[in-house]
Structure 1
């Protein structure tokens, strides 16, 4: 009645105030409303609301509203599990569920072939933790995996889910962090740093694709999310589930020794067989087009699948258009001025880029050294393959997914949603498309070059190659349609590629363990990498030899000390890198010695030196 009286007495020219009073009268039950919502709904300015507040029509009160990074994810808020588990999944779930209920700080290694339904086991186990009035933390290795994983978790647990990863804005991270800290979210999904989420009363920690090197942070502070998870497990008295189709050798060895409990999923959840995998020997095959990237059999297979309205995933773990520029006259290669690495051609931005420091410069038309115009751009990348596909298969709709196409916020989800809605026939990308993705219509997976990681000077290059090929093979034939995988390689006889063809993890594990044993590498030895950097190469080398002498003086004879030696890329961001690798089985003096080196590093900084210590490095390059 009061508002009706106000409306009758207001002057006829105050149209916006009349509109506001009418809305209050007609929509009274839906008040209080948010100021911005009223402004948008009635198309009025904030000054009208301010006048109304001064006249006593409203009481203005501040209300905190969280930014919601999950607003684009539809949620049915279905608490109960909708998928029936098979006997292997049930056995795994019962073992994990028992540990949750008994508050055991136990570690499980869930080893299951691709498509065996590991995610369903995770979701059921999280349900058990929530029923026990406890919280759950789930890590995934890549932001690109987060959209699909978040969608599944969100559909199961609704608004109880918070998400943490580097793709969020600072405001979203801040709000999600506070939601978790205030106990308003019971399930946290995120990438590596989410292991530090301020979650209390944790009942379960899940690390999906636990073999992934992205769980290891390679710059300060150096840590492995798995190690932090094991510490939090002891603190909260809860189990940790490490899941993978290709577990890291260290985790598999610990399961063999009984330190972890091994849970096996040997068959696909939908009873479908694994996809047929063909190796294409690039030394003998005929190429389609003139770029020597795509073989005739692979292009024919792609055309066949597109004609059937099926989808294709293509993997090339190298972004850009061409790996380097070469002058055919004098042999000059265009390098980064800050790093000892050649610049990569990026055709979409029309620039030469350094993938280490981000340096960019214009594409040269003449050789900077001899002014010759006989320059060529050699090597390949995702951009060049996309261009070639568009020429060879003009009817194909192609989406590219690499660092260059996913810089913008939400771009991962946008690309994956488009592909899921069949707005494209081919998803071409780097390793970010190799794992975790589940598209029922994908029946062909092609690997453009399986050798990209094989030739890296790293002790675990074979393991990374096997993991990547096995993971990407698992993207094919995940639903009713039969899957096929085609792997192009110059090394078809290499054991990592040969065993990935059959997804034979056990045989690979045995073979790789022999190789590691002969080379005195993890998991038979612990490793510590000491890196010394300086703008002056001589200073870095001199300090490295000082540290080497100290180590040799203090550590016992059985400890292996390799180096000092320049890094495989000796200069990055105008800093020269020298490395020392310590390999040991038992070395009680090392811990204190490393602390002393770290303390001395504070003084070394004044001389322009930086010293970094990395325990159990993922990369020794």
Structure 2
């Protein structure tokens, strides 16, 4: 319907539109806030949370009727726009047949948008992307009709259809397939009344969960922790608890008791995992505990499954959802508990599009919904430990491995004293330990967090290095595919026979090891071993991951070679030896959290060893065995290391004892990026307790063909960065090829 132009107030009073209420409608587009429309004529009404179609220019968009007032503090919220004259407003066109977006989710969208300085419509887009405008259409099937078969000519084909019908309704396609006839035979039976059409009852998409299906046998320590978490669920109010437990201590079984308590109350539960790959083993464990599978939510779900799951969550039928960070935006009407497993994992940080941290936003969603949230890890982040220290989080610990298993012994291999043979990367000490494990018929693992064959390829004649044309990064050789690839933008080149710079033949040599090179070396050293590679290149789906885990558990594998995917909480009962090929990897560079991340990753990898009766052993190959990270791993004193890390960050007010916000300037040319970054730097705020670092080239100065510069805003913890940033960037004008991205609480500094 076109907007109406009225000449005076009298004309407006006479118009039917005068009776229409003014509505705020948030569209999934980058507008600064909701747009105003006219609602339906009484008695038809819409409520906040209803999804509607509205006109926008010459097209039609789906939007959500939004709340008239916001709960976001004024300091965080953008300046409200001036209301548009009523005569210029256009009416809402239709109400969609979808469940309403709950009030707690609408508030969460507003808060997340304000905190991350993101247009709220872009956050809404993540919440309604999978919604379906109409409920699923009921399937129609055939049952026996009322006609007398003796009065109808029955051909052999028709008799086969009637025999195939049985007692349950079947579709035309099913009957035609079973009876091996054409669809016209089925329709012919309908025409003479021998069969009639009826609606096939639709089974619930997710089976009912039984909180008491198979309760676990808990140790005394586990039972105490489980009781505390269940009491938090019973309280039906917000609380945040850090559940810290050594690897193999049974943290999952413990927090599943809190899930069971929420189910007994008839409420819904959200469990967040950092990686899709974790879902297969987790869901199997969940089904053994509750008698049915949880709903799964991640980006690899097909469109139909996503729509079905979204509606099942909105209607309260999906009681437990396990998913990646995007599951935070599902429309739970009665959320009773949120769990963030492996809360330290940096995969919870969304780097593209809407930039947010899944762990922190899970805490925000729990606070808005007034429900408990449990953060779980064997290696908690310094942010969570600081919140415990400040009294914002409760702290529960599991100090012992479950079932009598003991923590693995961790040892260092000083590569200066025990170097590998020339051109190889495994120390003789490590290869001997692997052979000993094989002799005992136990499994071993080699860990290297680097995909491909080699991270660098250079010409030994002229020194030329193979670099990505779109990024400030070397091309990684993937020998199995005979190509060079950029792991940042996806650019690939065939492996050239000559140097592109000096044309020398056979002069290109790989430098350093990737996981493919370790596989090649392992095949030569252990020719009889059954080897499995676990990396994102080789495990392309949750199903492939599940099959790999099954093979390992069935002892069909002797040696596992993996990247960081093997550190994600797997339980391999026959794995007793873990060798870390390059324990120093990750310690270099200027990353604020480099040491913390390295300790967390290697501690998690080490935790895969000795989780059953046989004791475990971990060997770390290092050229800096005296480094505090290596010493912390050998002493297995994670807490002492984190206290040391905290003491280094407090004086300079580095997170979590201060706040950071990154401004990433990007443009099509280096000159444009420099000019825009300089302009922003010249208008930087000069406020007490606020420091601006930069502008400077980003470590990845070019990414996907765009030149990048960075500025960093640092403040004390009690200073909110959002109002400062909003005022700083107010009025900034950028050209069409220029962008300024804001990352509140950055995790990556690339």
**Fold equivalence (TM over 0.5):** yes
How far apart are residue 105 of structure 1 and its match? 0.3
Matched, 1:403 2:531: no
Whole-angstrom distance in 1 between the partners of 2:504 and 2:202: 62
Work out the CA distance in 2 between the residues paired with 1:10 and 1:491. 89
TM-score where L is the length of structure 1: 0.92
Match of 2:686 in 1: 555
Shift in CA distance, 282/309, structure 1 to aligned 2, threshold 3 Å: same
Please identify, of 487-496 and 79-88, the stretch whose mean Cα deviation from structure 2 is larger.
79-88
State whether structure 2 residue 749 is matched by structure 1 residue 620: yes
CA deviations on 1:555-584 (whole Å, 9 max, x unpaired) are 314322111110112101110110011110
Alignment-derived partner of residue 415 in structure 1 = 548
Residue 349 of structure 2: aligned partner: 216
Distance 1:519 1:587 in 2: 14
Give the Cα–Cα distance (whole angstroms) in 1 for the partners of residues 182 and 381 of structure 2. 59
Q: Secondary structure at the match of 1:137?
A: strand
Q: Relative to 1, partners in 2 of residues 1:133 and 1:446: Cα closer, same or farther, differing over 3 Å?
A: same
Q: Give the structure-2-normalised TM-score.
A: 0.77
Contact 2:659-2:721 within 8 A present in 1 as well: no
Structure 2 counterpart of 1:230, from 363, 377, 383 = 363
Indicate if the aligned counterparts of 2:586 and 2:594 stay in contact, CA closer than 8 A. yes
Deviation at 1:537, TM superposition (A): 0.9
- Using a 3 Å threshold, how does the CA distance of structure 1 residues 2 and 325 change in structure 2: closer, same or farther? closer
Deviations 1:195-233 (A, max 9, x none): 222222111111011011111111220111122222221
Partners of 2:718 and 2:339 in 1: CA distance: 32
Q: CA deviation at 1:313?
A: 2.3
Question: Partners in 1 of 2:546 and 2:500 — Cα distance?
Answer: 41
| Cα deviation, residue 550, structure 1 | 1.7
How far off its partner does 1:66 sit?
Answer: 8.4
Partner of 1:610: 739
Structure 1 residues 210 and 335 mapped into 2: Cα distance closer, same or farther (>3 Å)?
A: same
1:479 aligns with 2:616: no
Report the structure, 1 or 2, having the larger helix content: 1
CA–CA distance in structure 1, aligned partners of residues 176 and 538 of structure 2: 37
Residue 474 of structure 2 is matched in structure 1 by: 342
Greater CA deviation, 371-380 or 529-538?
Answer: 371-380
Question: What displacement does 1:276 show?
Answer: 0.8
- Aligned residue in 1 for 2:230: 97
2:415 to 279, 282, 300: 282
Match of 2:501 among 369, 373, 386: 369
Q: Secondary structure at the match of 2:169?
A: coil
Paired position in structure 2 for 1:23: 164
Q: Does the CA contact (< 8 Å) of 1:77 and 1:155 recur in 2?
A: no
Report the equivalent of 1:428.
561
SS at match of 1:456: coil
Partner Cα distance (1:66, 1:413) in 2: 27
Which residue of the other structure, out of 142, 146, 170, is the alignment partner of 1:33? 170
Whole-Å separation in 1 of the counterparts to 2:440 and 2:204 = 43
**Which residues of structure 1 form unaligned runs of 5+?**
none
SS in 2 for 1:59: strand
Q: Aligned to 2:589, what secondary structure does the other structure show?
A: coil
Judge conservation of contact 2:446–2:581 (CA < 8 Å) in 1: yes
Shift in alpha-carbon separation, 1:521–1:6, aligned structure 2, 3 A: same
Q: Tell me, in whole angstroms, the C-alpha distance in 1 between the residues paired with 2:377 and 2:539.
A: 25
- Following the alignment from structure 1 to structure 2, what is the Cα–Cα distance between the partners of residues 400 and 354? 21
Aligned to 2:261: 128
Q: Is the 8 A contact 1:10 1:18 kept in 2?
A: no
1:306 is paired with a residue whose SS is helix
Whether the 8 Å CA contact 1:81–1:124 is kept in 2: the answer is no
Deviation at 1:429, TM superposition (A): 1.3
Closer, same or farther: CA 8–436 of 1 in aligned 2, 3 Å: farther
Cα deviation 1:381-402 (Å, max 9, x = unaligned): 1111111111111111111121
Is 1:331 equivalent to 2:460 in the alignment? Answer: no
Q: State the alpha-carbon separation in 1 of the partners of residues 254 and 562 from structure 2.
A: 28
In the superposition, relative to structure 1, how do residues 605 and 193 fare at CA in structure 2: closer, same or farther (>3 Å)? farther
SS in 2 for 1:145: helix
Within 5 A, what are the aligned runs for 1:70-85? 79-85=212-218
Deviation (angstroms), 1:325: 1.4
- CA displacement 1:165-220 (0-9 Å, x = unmatched): 12322222222222212211111111111122222211111101101111111122
Distance 2:584 2:343 in 1: 23
Q: Displacement of 1:10 after TM fit?
A: 3.6
Closer/same/farther in 2, CA of residues 408 and 469 from structure 1, 3 Å limit? closer
Please give the alpha-carbon distance, in whole angstroms, between the structure 2 residues aligned to 1:286 and 1:313: 20
Higher relative contact order (CA 8 A, sep 6+): 1
Is residue 498 of structure 1 aligned with residue 616 of structure 2?
no
Give 3-state SS (helix, strand or coil) of 1:95's partner: helix
**Residue number in structure 1 paired with 2:711:** 580
Taking structure 1 as reference, are residues 4 and 116 closer, same or farther at Cα in structure 2, changes over 3 Å only?
same
2:194 is matched with 57
Find the aligned partners of 2:293 and 2:550 in 1 and give their Cα distance. 23
CA contact (8 A) 1:469 1:497 kept: no
1:298 aligns with 2:430: yes
Distance 2:186 2:691 in 1: 75
CA distance in 1, matches of 2:647, 2:240: 25
Q: CA deviation at 1:42?
A: 3.7
User: Which 10-residue stretch deviates more, 267-276 or 249-258?
Assistant: 267-276
Deviation string 1:488-528 (CA, Å, 9 cap, x unpaired) is: 11121111121122321111111111222355421121110
Q: Point out the more displaced range, 291-300 or 134-143.
A: 291-300
1:47 is displaced (CA, Å) by: 3.9
CA 43–94 in structure 1, closer or farther in 2 if over 3 Å, else same: same
Task: For residue 479 of structure 1, give the secondary structure of its aligned residue in structure 2.
Answer: coil
Aligned length: 606
Output the CA distance in 1 between the equivalents of 2:540 and 2:729.
35
> Aligned equivalents of 2:204 and 2:542: distance in 1?
14
Q: Distance in 2 between matches of 1:363 and 1:2?
A: 68
Contact 2:344–2:381 (Cα < 8 Å) also in 1: yes
Give me the whole-angstrom Cα distance separating, in 1, the residues matched to 2:626 and 2:300: 40
Task: State the distance in 1 between where 2:717 and 2:432 align.
Answer: 56
Task: Report the Cα offset of residue 94 of structure 1.
Answer: 2.0
- Please report the RMSD computed on the Cα atoms of aligned residues, expressed in angstroms: 2.5
Asked if 1 retains the 8 angstrom alpha-carbon contact of 2:147 and 2:194, the reply is: no
Distance 1:410 1:596, change over 3 A: farther
Deviation of 1:444 (Å): 1.2
Query: Are 2:149 and 1:6 equivalent residues in the alignment?
Result: yes
Q: Residue 214 of structure 2 contacts residue 288 of structure 2 at CA under 8 Å; is this kept in 1?
A: no
- CA distance in 1 between partners of 2:179 and 2:451 (Å): 49
- Counterpart of 2:726 (choices 583, 587, 595) is 595
